[in-house]
Structure 1
Amino acid sequence: MKLLLGHIFSVSIKYVYQRGNTYYYQRKIPQDLLPRYPGTTHIKVNLKTNEPAQVAKKVRDLNRQYESTWAAMRGNSDLQPLSIRQAAVKLLDQYGLKPQPADNDEHGVDSFIGLLQRKHEAYAQGDPEMYESADPEEYLDPTELEALRLLNEEPKFRLSDALQLYLHGHKNKDKKKFRADTERVWGRLITLIGDKELEQVTRADANEFVSRGIAEGAKTTTIERHISILRAIFNVALVEREIAKQNPFLRLRIPRLGEDSKTREPFDNDQLIILAQECRKEDDDIRWLLALQIDLGCRIAEAAGLTLEDLHLDAPIPYVSIRPHPWRTLKTKSSKRNVPLVGVSLWAAQRVIQAAQPGQLFAFPRYTDKNECKATHASNTLNKWIESRLGVKKTTHAFRHTIRDRLRNVGAPKDIQDAVGGWGKEDIGDKYGLGYGLQQLKMWMDKVVLSAF
């Protein structure tokens, strides 16, 4: 279908259709693989966005995912899509049944077996010899075969089970982004090698995950991050299930790791001044969020997830307390810190407090509530705005590189730079108190305040 970009241009994106304000990805399952997708002929996914760029990105990712799955299925006749097992569990549920080792009701079992028996009889068409010799695979579809296996066999511990075990005990299991990121990476592994028993996953499977990622154009550092997720899930599963097996994702080698990464260009002084001045002109919560980052050098999530109580404007030295919250954790222990508010960041914090409504908890309720901090949404919006004002593609994360450069250029010691950006190897609170520490930090940060702001 065609998606409108602005008022002039439109672009055609295959495999997308619109219903109301919702866009869907829909693609035919290849004819040769249809037998392994019983009951359906198409893949259909709600894209959950109507933004053209996001639609295009999701469609590109889905195309890669399913084409990879189909290639793997063609190379292995025993490989089934994960949906087969899910469909089998649903089929059993229709009869009030659960996979072994559940204590199932005999009436439910009899009803389900009766369904399979009727299919057996229909296939034999009254021929006793055909009835006796028929293999279940000849008259049952893949979902029914899987349901029968789940009902009768002692369950095997599979990759999908390992994911649930890992998430169940993880401290961030209720964090929507954490779950989504973890499920997406684990899903890529299952897409590639199938929902194998955990003990059957090999080093060759792990290396294939790396090779496929490189072939599909993923950055090597992204693959490294995905490998760390897979390794963590395997570690938990191997320990909890007492499986005597070496983690296949341990010490994997990624060819030319990091050589394809792009250096983030920091903002120069003129660009910072333009952004600060434009923030003051527009003077809204989106611009306050960006302005906070300019002279703090904090991560977008660190700023977007602040509460009003994190902004200490009545202190002798105004400062922001960057600390973990249920809706937004911090990247590392050393990310917890107190940083003086100076320059345009002080102005932004003052505007947040001045504009706060009675009973307001969050500094940026547009992006944060008690359940989550939508830092990615904020980043996408601000990155586009930065490009529109400067005419160059730079992201909010560049403020972190920039604040280090600015401090370095005025001679600030490395431990001061680390304290401001949360780069140290220890909790900043162990080294800098709220008195002397803030004074020391402010002395250096005052040296980098934008002169034209």
Structure 2
Amino acid sequence: MIMDVPYLQQRGNSWRYRRKVPPALKSALGKGELVFPLGSTKALALSRYGQIHKQAEAILARAAQPVENASPTALDLYKHALSIAASFGLSNDWTGRGGPDDPEDLARDVIAEDILAKYQRDEDDHPIGVSQSDKALLQVLARGAEPAKPKATLEDARRVYLSENIKDDKKAKLQLDNIFKLISPVLTPERPLASISRADARAVRDCLLDGRTIESAKRYLNTVRSMLNVAIRELELTGKVHNHFLSLPVGNKEQATPGNKNRDSFTEQELEKTRARVLSMARTDIQLIWRILEMTGCRPSEVAGLRVEDVYVRHAIPHIDVEWHEVRRVKTLSSRRKVPLLGDALMAAREAVALAGSSKGLFSAYFREGGPDSFRRRWGSTYVPAYLVKRLSPTRYVIALTTDWSWPRSSPTPLIS
């Protein structure tokens, strides 16, 4: 009798536990499958199967649990308390001067007593373990409009920037988190925005310049500057907080890296060796990506993230559309462009469309969240010859330059074959 054991798989002379991660949990786990080695024989694999299966179930169960939100700031607690008071029909403008028969005064006392009733008391009849949210609400109930609004902090600025600008962009969120780690020796998340001075801004600049290029420091400072502008606008701090990162100089122009020195290009000999390496070692889809890259000069992630609908092989001028979509962002707005397909690049594009079939992505292996970036990293570490890695950063190189094309104002209807 042959027993069908879920997730048990033989690979060569060994056995393993292989299980796909449900799509909803992929982002939490950061991978698409769980794989555990089980041994070199089926008997050994079956003996270990039960323990490994329990481990996999536990991993998936933890990933399915809702992620707890970060601890609320004082400003978050204050705003939440005001919203709860308003939901009870209380006025946020109440000052407690309505006299002994003030109905709102009585309502506030009743609500406060109800909140405190759920807490135990110590020997002096003081409530024990009152939560931070209840403390904020009790203060609003007792003092109405009198308590001073908590000062907005750098953490408040980060959160409103995440909410208003970054939203679901995971890459931008990671970059923002990294910036906060870099500037933490100078500015901590608890720092009130109103207390940040020009001297603090210069200290942050110097911190970011330590061990980094002027260009990198400028990018990080642009994010900090933008974050503070958004916070001042959205938290209604105009006139109360000044953005001292505005017009902050970052090095001299003479120290900056010239644009034509930012990245090296392949020499003809290097190009030939890389081409031979890719066309002899790589999978078919990677070979097709290379052939398009070589003749267009696009970024690796731009080609790896193409949709079938972005490829126009029967247009009057065959081309690809480099566009922003759900899987792949473009680096800048000016990167959204039409790129001509000539010679072998056109042939490769036709082959890729035929192989894609009904898939939405031209290269289905990389048409997923983070897929184009994973190709870019793999490309630089695997297919760029080792002798080039020391001279070329794996993801910073130029393959070719394309000529600007004048696109006709009226073109035939694009067709995809």
Please report the TM-score for the alignment, with normalisation by the length of structure 2: 0.60
What is the match of residue 314 of structure 2?
314
Query: Which position in structure 2 is the counterpart of 1:265?
Result: 264
The reply to whether residue 375 of structure 1 matches residue 372 of structure 2 is yes
Q: Does 1:403 align with 2:400?
A: yes
**Contact kept in structure 1, 2:277 and 2:383, CA below 8 Å:** no
Pair 1:158-2:153 in alignment: yes
Shift of 1:110: 5.7
1:432 aligns with 2:412: no
1:179 to 2:173 alignment = yes
Query: 1:306 touches 1:362 (CA, 8 Å); kept in 2?
Result: yes
Name the counterpart of 2:83.
102
Q: Tell me: CA distance 1:389–1:194, structure 2 relative to 1, closer, same or farther (3 Å).
A: closer
Matches within 5 A, 1:380-395: 380-388=377-385, 391-393=388-390, 394-395=392-393
CA apart distance, 1:291? 3.2
Kindly provide the amino acid, as one letter, of the partner of residue 433 in structure 1. P
Structure 1 match to 2:245: 249
How many angstroms does 1:363 deviate by? Answer: 1.5
The structure in which a higher percent of residues are helix is 1
Q: Distance in 2 between matches of 1:108 and 1:343?
A: 77
CA–CA distance in structure 1, aligned partners of residues 375 and 112 of structure 2: 52
**Which blocks of at least 5 consecutive residues in structure 2 are unaligned?**
1-27, 32-68, 89-107, 140-146, 412-417
Residues 259, 148 of structure 1: CA spacing in aligned structure 2 closer, same or farther, 3 A cutoff?
farther
After superposition, what is the alpha-carbon deviation per residue over 1:159-218, rounded to whole angstroms, capped at 9, x for unaligned?
Answer: 222223233333x52222223323432464467333223222222222222222334x23
How many percent identity over aligned positions? 23
- Residue by residue, what CA displacement relative to the aligned partner does 1:131-159 show, whole Å, maximum 9, x if unpaired? 99xxx9xx99xx96797468635443222
Change (3 A) 1:198 1:147: farther
Give the letter for the 1:159 counterpart. Answer: L
- Residue 333 of structure 1 corresponds to 333
How has the CA–CA distance of structure 1 residues 398 and 351 changed in structure 2, closer, same or farther, with 3 Å as cutoff? Answer: farther
Partner Cα separation in structure 1 for residue 357 and residue 138 of structure 2: 57
Residue 220 of structure 1 contacts residue 257 of structure 1 at CA under 8 Å; is this kept in 2?
A: no
- 2:54 match: none
Instruction: Quote the Cα distance in structure 2 between the aligned partners of 1:320 and 1:291.
Output: 14
Q: Residue 338 of structure 2 aligns to a residue in which SS?
A: strand
Could you tell me which runs of 5 or more consecutive residues in structure 1 were left unpaired when the two chains were aligned. Answer: 1-45, 50-84, 408-415, 421-430, 437-453
| C-alpha distance in 1 between matches for 2:207 and 2:314 | 55
Structure 2 CA distance for aligned equivalents of residues 367 and 258 of structure 1: 41
Instruction: Please tell me whether the aligned partners of residues 99 and 151 of structure 1 are also in contact (alpha carbons under 8 angstroms).
Output: no
What are the within-5 Å matches in structure 2 for residues 224-303 of structure 1? 224-240=218-234, 241-244=236-239, 245-255=241-251, 259=255, 263-281=262-280, 282-303=282-303
User: Relative to structure 2, which stretch is displaced further, 223-232 or 386-395?
Assistant: 386-395
Please tell me whether the aligned partners of residues 163 and 233 of structure 1 are also in contact (alpha carbons under 8 angstroms): yes
Residue in structure 2 matched with residue 38 of structure 1 by the alignment: none
Note the C-alpha offset of 1:389: 5.8
Shift, 1:381, TM fit = 0.3
Distance 2:194 2:206 in 1: 21
Aligned residues of 2:381 and 2:394 also touching (Cα < 8 A): no
Give the distance between the partners of 1:342 and 1:390, measured in 2 at CA: 30
Do 2:183 and 2:208's aligned partners in 1 also have CA atoms closer than 8 Å?
no
Distance 1:168 1:254, change over 3 A: same
Distance 1:98 1:246 in 2: 23
The Cα shift of 1:232 comes to: 0.8
Cα displacement (A) at 1:362: 0.8
Distance 1:286 1:432, change over 3 A: same
The question of whether the paired residues in 2 share the 8 Å contact of 1:319 and 1:339 is answered with: yes
Q: CA RMSD in A?
A: 4.3
User: 1:230 Cα shift?
Assistant: 0.9
* 1:158–1:198 CA contact under 8 A, matched in 2: yes
Number of positions where the alignment pairs a residue of Structure 1 with one of Structure 2: 311
> CA distance change for structure 1 residues 334 and 381 in 2, over 3 Å: closer, same or farther?
same
Q: CA deviation at 1:293?
A: 1.9
Q: Is the 8 A contact 1:220 1:258 kept in 2?
A: no
State the distance in 2 between where 1:258 and 1:267 align. 27
The separation in 1 between residues aligned to 2:366 and 2:71, in whole angstroms, is: 36
Deviation, structure 1 residue 384: 0.8
Q: Is the 8 A contact 1:100 1:155 kept in 2?
A: no
Are the structure 2 counterparts of residues 89 and 193 from structure 1 closer, same or farther at C-alpha, using a change threshold of 3 Å? Answer: closer
Residue 66 (structure 1) aligns with:
none
How many Å separate the matches in 2 of 1:194 and 1:147?
A: 23
- 1:195 paired residue number: 190
Relative to 1, partners in 2 of residues 1:193 and 1:89: Cα closer, same or farther, differing over 3 Å?
A: closer
Alpha carbons 2:183, 2:207 under 8 Å: kept: no
> Aligned equivalents of 1:144 and 1:115: distance in 2?
11
- Of 218, 223, 232, 2:212 maps to 218
Distance 2:408 2:400 in 1: 21
SS at match of 1:339: strand
The structure number with the bigger radius of gyration is 2
**Whole-Å separation in 1 of the counterparts to 2:230 and 2:72:** 27
